[in-house]
Chain A
Amino acid sequence: MSVWEYAPAPESRDLANLRPNYRPFVDGEFVDGGGDPLTSLNPATEEPLAEVGTASESDVDAAVRAARRAFEQVWGPMPGAERAKYLFRIARLLQERARELAVLETLDNGKPIKESRDSDVPTAAAHFFYHAGWADKLDYAGYGPDPQPLGVAGQIIPWNFPLLMLAWKIAPALATGNTVVLKPAETTPLSALVFAEICQQAGLPAGVVNIVPGAGDVGSLLVRHPGIDKIAFTGSTAVGKEIQHAVAGTPKRLTLELGGKAANVVFDDAPLDQAVEGIVGGIFFNQGHVCCAGSRLLVQESVAEELLGKLRARVSTLRLGDPLDKNTDIGAINSAEQLAKIRELTASGEDEGAERWTSPCELPERGFYFAPTVLSGVEQSMRVAREEIFGPVLSVLTFRTPDEAVTKANNTPYGLSAGLWTEKGSRILWLADRMRAGVVWANTFNRFDPAAPFGGYQESGFGREGGRTGLEAYLHV
């Protein structure tokens, strides 16, 4: 069979308007951070992209004070209808600068341009657009008349969806009348600092949004700062537990969106080709750097071999390589550290007896890459069935009966998401009731919308983002 090669279709790197230096954003101005500057790498090439100033303790302090002042003097007293118009402006500016942001995000994160272009950036804009409308309608949100904001929110976001996670955090906080100090992830700070510029362009009052780049120590300063009323964190369960511990006994409010080990359950009556697409999207989207990734495939024994065959064939066609190429399906792993973790956990799966199959795709010589991998014959006791890998590695287990599927799916301390594949409607609803997870995708996977609440059960965290439910995280209720 002849193979049709794709011609290279790279998006222009110039669109990112990359600058050599980026700086923290405090009280409406870009400032020289007092912390040691960090260098953000392009994980696809390992080349430095830009130098980024980081926040020192006094910068964090200044940011919190600015946010407090803005909350008390400007943003808090402002009528909701006026706040809304700033959020609409931000949504529009994000749409207008979408190409720039998509390319920048791909350079800084390593994700394929088609994902940053078609998913991250438009969904980020949608979050601002959706929440803008809430700002003057909070009386109708179900929390009684005139629900009050919490004050200053400290927000800490991960590197897997830098701009989108920023939108999930900032949009509801501002809509409900809070001001924010946000720390982007150490390896992906750039889009947040361009967002700061968008805040300036939107004429957002100084101090309403402050961005303090840095590593975990800056996050820790935020978590412990007495001037902060609320912490919102998205990231690993281990760090989430540390934050919950640190906040314990203080009046700070807390919401956590943590890790997951989602089951993607395929029954023998599922449309297998459709299921294969969903399984592939569920685990290989964004290189598997997704907290709700369908990382445990639970397949009914009678169709396991057939499904695995189809799955391997489909995964073999995934194109791994330059994230800026519009045909690329799998981009770069975000950091050397994450790559090492993925390798270590995958190797542990092999050591514990799983069968490893890896896509025969070629890996670029430079950059952090990991070929899509399927581990079959996985048992529940193996680390690859219990621990979040956060990479393009799928663990395959089997089941015989619906009850066994439920038991295995729920056999995890996490509870963020679950996938179900069956043509039988009554079975979907029966299973959806029994999945101990905050999001259940039936005959689809990885769907996100600002109108649909997202968040976990158990050790996947507490609080929701999106929808009417998500407003609760930023209101005195």
Chain B
Amino acid sequence: MSDRVSVAKTYKLYIDGKFPRSESGRTYPVTDAEGGFLANASHASRKDVRDAVSAARKAFGGWSGATAYNRGQVLYRVAEVLEGRREQFAAEVAACEGVPTADAMCTVDAAVDRWVWYAGWTDKIASVLGAANPVAGPYFSFTVPEPTGVVGVLAPQSSSLLGLVSVLAPVVATGCTAVVVSSADRPLPAITLSEVLATSDVPGGVVNVLTGRADELGPWLASHADVNAIDPTGASAESRVDIAQQASGTVKRVLTVPGDEPDWTRRPDISRLRRYLEAKTVWHPKGT
């Protein structure tokens, strides 16, 4: 053991490709599973939600308009950078979730693999969900899936990295942009993930990460007119009702999610991708 004093990291929000503190100036202490102090995290506010939503909206045109191949490469690049930070993530997951480092490392590996799985979907999902429609007339009619827009993601409270990746990767793989509220008590892997995103080729604003309370910020996301869909996974049962009601004000898509956190190690299917996609049907006459 050397006598060197380590440099403690300041954990901040991630909005529009930058790392601001909460405009509210609020912070809250983050502890490890035994209650030991880890860091002070920014406690995001309604104003931070609004900034994050406007960044996500601004980024939507470019991200959704990028080719699927390009999005796939950018997301694969994220996995590469994640892989390079395995030790750091494992340490943070172990501290936050109170699991042995070896288990945490397995979780990190699963998270990297999950990210790779979704990265590969970007240029395939349209051929799986799209169609040429055999209509009864002289028309060419086809249906393509398109990203629904800005998605508010209330990340799982327990699974700080694998759960987070499992709910975030499908959002960005479809071409949507995201405003994520991390696990409140276990936010460190989420902030480190935003550093990965910032140093990959993901354009600023495509993913915005807020640390704070899902039950406090969820209803603001759900009532925001520039949010198109919301995943209430990280909200409490009571708050989910409020969120779903708020969402009706602008006809948002609200994900149906299980009451308790699912087993995130289970192999995913494409249902999360499907939830963030709108079917667009295009018609053109033939022969005239």
B and A form one assembly: yes
Q: Is B250 an interface residue (CB 8 A)?
A: yes
Taken together as a complex, chains A and B put the C-alpha atoms of A263 and B140 apart, in Å, by 21
| Residue B143 at the chain A interface, CB threshold 8 Å | yes
B128, B241, B245, B284: which contacts A443 (Cβ < 8 A)? Answer: B284
Interface status of B24 (Cβ within 8 A of chain A): no
Q: Are B228 and A454 in contact, CB atoms less than 8 angstroms apart?
A: no
How far is it, in angstroms, between the C-alpha of A435 and the C-alpha of B88 when the chains are bound?
43
* CB atoms of B143 and A452 under 8 A apart: yes
Q: Is B261 an interface residue (CB 8 A)?
A: no
Q: Are A142 and B283 in contact (CB under 8 A)?
A: no
A441 at the binding interface (Cβ < 8 Å): yes
For residues 227 through 284 of chain B, which have their beta carbon under 8 Å from a beta carbon of chain A? 228, 240-241, 244-245, 247-251, 253-254, 256, 269, 271, 274, 278-284
Q: What is the size category of the interface that chain B forms with chain A?
A: 35 or more
For window 449-464 of A, CB contacts with B under 8 Å fall at 449, 451-455, 457-462, 464
CB <8 Å contact, B278 and A452: no
Query: For the complex, is B35 an interface residue (Cβ under 8 Å from A)?
Result: no
- Report the Cα distance A447→B285, complex, angstroms: 10
- The residue in chain B whose Cβ has the minimal distance to the Cβ of A144 is B269
Among the stretches A76-84, A113-121, A221-229, A245-253, the one at the interface with B is A245-253
Chain A: number of interface residues, binned into ranges: 35 or more
Is A148 on the interface with B (CB-CB < 8 A)?
A: no
- Does residue B134 face the partner (Cβ distance < 8 Å to A)? yes
Chain A residues positioned under 8 Å from B36 (CB to CB): none
Bound CA–CA A143/B141 (angstroms) = 22
From B134, B137, B247, A447 is in contact (CB under 8 Å) with: B137
Measured CB to CB, the closest approach of chain A to B235, in angstroms, equals 11
Bound complex: CA of A451 vs CA of B140, how far in Å? 12
* A240–B280 touching, CB < 8 Å: no
Q: Does B7 contact A (CB under 8 A)?
A: no
Contact indicator B248/A413 (Cβ below 8 Å): no
**Given A142-B128, A444-B139, A469-B131: A248 and B247 within 8 A (CB)?**
yes
Task: Compute how far the CA of A432 lies from the CA of B140 in the bound complex, rounded to whole angstroms.
Answer: 14
Q: Which chain A residues border B136 with CB–CB below 8 Å?
A: 126, 449, 451
Of A126, A274, A460, A467, the residue contacting B143 (CB under 8 A) is A467
Q: When A and B form their complex, what is the total count of cross-chain residue pairs whose Cβ atoms lie within 8 Å?
A: 117
For the complex, is A468 an interface residue (Cβ under 8 Å from B)? Answer: yes
Q: Which residues of B contact A428 (CB under 8 A)?
A: 284
In the complex, chain A residues whose CB is within 8 Å of the CB of B282: 432, 439-442
- Given the known interface contacts A248-B248, A249-B244, A249-B245, the answer about A469 and B279 at a Cβ–Cβ threshold of 8 Å is yes
Q: Is the CB of A248 within 8 A of B245?
A: yes
Let me know if A453 and B269 touch, CB within 8 A: no
Q: How far is the CA of A458 from the CA of B251 in the complex (A)?
A: 7
Task: For the complex formed, measure the closest distance between the CB of B133 and the CB atoms of chain A, giving whole angstroms.
Answer: 4
Q: Which of A449, A460, A462, A477 contacts B133 (CB 8 A)?
A: A449
Q: Is A103 an interface residue (CB 8 A)?
A: no
Residues of A within 8 A of B (CB): 126, 142, 144, 237, 240-242, 244-245, 248-249, 253, 256, 258, 274, 413, 428, 432-433, 435, 437-444, 447, 449, 451-455, 457-462, 464, 467-469, 472, 477
